Amino acid sequence: MHGYANPARFLKFARPATGWFLWIGLLLLAPGILGGLFVTPPDYLQGETVRILYIHVPAAWLGMAGWAGIAAASLAQIVWRHPLSAIAGRAVAPAGATFAAICLATGSIWGRPTWGTWWEWDGRLTSMLILFFLYLGYIALAWAERERGGDGRMAALFGLVGAINLPIIHYSVMWWRTLHQGQSISITGGSSIAPELLWPLPLTLVGFSLLFGAVVLMRMRAELAAAKFEARLRRTSTE
């Protein structure tokens, strides 16, 4: 892992990986979306609205995983001062913010026919909204630090402190039992959802995750190219 902190070595991996992530992500997403929309049966209680599950759950997962990535990059920056960690944090933030926003929007749309309301100050919804605002704060701070020529330490500290919100989001459905349903899928303990309804979910989960990865790689490549351009410009102006 430490080896990829070298920008040249990272680019050697990132250039081919961007296309692989993008195309495999799209290939998995297509059957997941079509299956979720038109093939799976309606739920006995929620009817057709259960189909929102196949996009809402991956968006929630990526909104949270994005901040976990920012926290890991922040830790690497503070402890090991990896040259790529600040770039990685800045690359993950817009993608994480987009998926957190998609999670909030699709959840709200799902809530209207299911709960009879677009929004409720429920523990899960509120903590997810806070995550979205944390993303906006991180983006503003990290961009401002880069413009000032700073080393990105303030943004890294913000990234680490913001990670406190992740367990709050995860356990919110147990701590405050209001409108949002409890956990129905767990990594270790299986699922309470019928297999006929569940099968498109792994496809959309992995598909969206690979597209998220492709966005992060593209943003990191863009930042590295911009840094290279600025360095060359400085070199030519001093010659």
The residues of the shown chain that bind other proteins, judged by CB under 8 A, are 22, 33, 37, 47-49, 51-52, 55-56, 59, 94-95, 98-99, 101-102, 105-106, 109-110, 112-113, 208, 211, 214-215, 218-219, 221-223, 225-226, 228-229, 232-233, 236
Q: How far is the CB of 101 from other proteins (least distance, A)?
A: 7
Please, which residue, 140 or 225, has the CB nearer to other proteins? Answer: 225
Q: How far is the CB of 55 from other proteins (least distance, A)?
A: 4
Q: Which stretches of the chain are assigned E, i.e. beta strand?
A: 185-186, 190-191
Q: How far is the CB of 154 from other proteins (least distance, A)?
A: 24
Please, which residue, 139 or 157, has the CB nearer to other proteins? Answer: 139
Q: How far is the CB of 225 from other proteins (least distance, A)?
A: 4
8 Å CB contact between 202 and 209: no
DSSP 3-state assignment of 47? strand
DSSP 3-state assignment of 182? coil
Query: 236 burial class (0-12, 13-18, 19+ CB within 10 angstroms)?
Result: exposed
- d(CA 98, CA 110) in angstroms, rounded, equals 18
Please, which residue, 59 or 155, has the CB nearer to other proteins? Answer: 59
Q: Which residue is it, tokens 């959309």?
A: 204
